[in-house]
A and B are shown apart, each in its own frame.
Chain A
Amino acid sequence: GAVVSQHPSRVICKSGTSVKIECRSLDFQATTMFWYRQFPKKSLMLMATSNEGSKATYEQGVEKDKFLINHASLTLSTLTVTSAHPEDSSFYICSAGRAGAEQYFGPGTRLTVT
């Protein structure tokens, strides 16, 4: 199947700093990428839909100014958690897809804010 990578896999940052997470589709072009967040023992919750060349669409309750999404190319989307707080600590997962094929997920990024 198609490969989606995320970087970094784990990151620890101090409260108040910003963290950027990259999501790449390695062997196909993805016009749409999705960002999910998962808290311990909970299911994945969609945060936003990232469309190449246009603004991201955020789910209700997700602050767009706090979770900055950029989808500058067909193979790369980035999520920046700005002014991170301990409650932002979570498992962040991206997925990428193309019409007529299954959606593929990245391995996830574990963010810990101290």
Chain B
Amino acid sequence: DAKTTQPPSMDCAEGRAANLPCNHSTISGNEYVYWYRQIHSQGPQYIIHGLKNNETNEMASLIITEDRKSSTLILPHATLRDTAVYYCIVLGSAGSARQLTFGSGTQLTVLP
């Protein structure tokens, strides 16, 4: 699975959009981009995933560049409860039969 690079930390004002970048320059054509987050002392929570097209669900939007070498997770209206570590993970297939390799992630702090 391709390696990912994320900034270690970011701040965001409550109510504003939080844009979390992820670089995955070695991603191959059949690899998916997954995003999970981990609120302090809890298990990780699935957010969204995509292959080529942009994706949106009730939690967030995922924007993948055309060359697929980077992506951005967007939380449109961040709240204090969105403070968490966000992990960008590249996985060789959709579905969960394979273990996830967690990098360092981005600590997002939403400020009041």
Contact = CB atoms under 8 A, between A and B. Distances in A.
Interface of A: 1, 4, 6, 31-32, 34, 36, 43-46, 49, 91, 93, 95-108, 110
A71 to B, nearest CB: 14
B42 A34 contact: no
A95 B41 contact: no
Interface residues of B, number: 22
A49 B97 CA distance: 10
B42 A108 contact: yes
A107 B42 contact: yes
Given A32-B96, A101-B95, 10 more contacts: A34-B100, A44-B100, A96-B96, A97-B95, A102-B49, A103-B100, A104-B46, A105-B36, A107-B42, A107-B43
Given A97-B95, A99-B95, A102-B49, A108 B100 contact: no
Interface stretch (B11-19, B70-78, B102-110): B102-110
Contacts of A100: 94-95
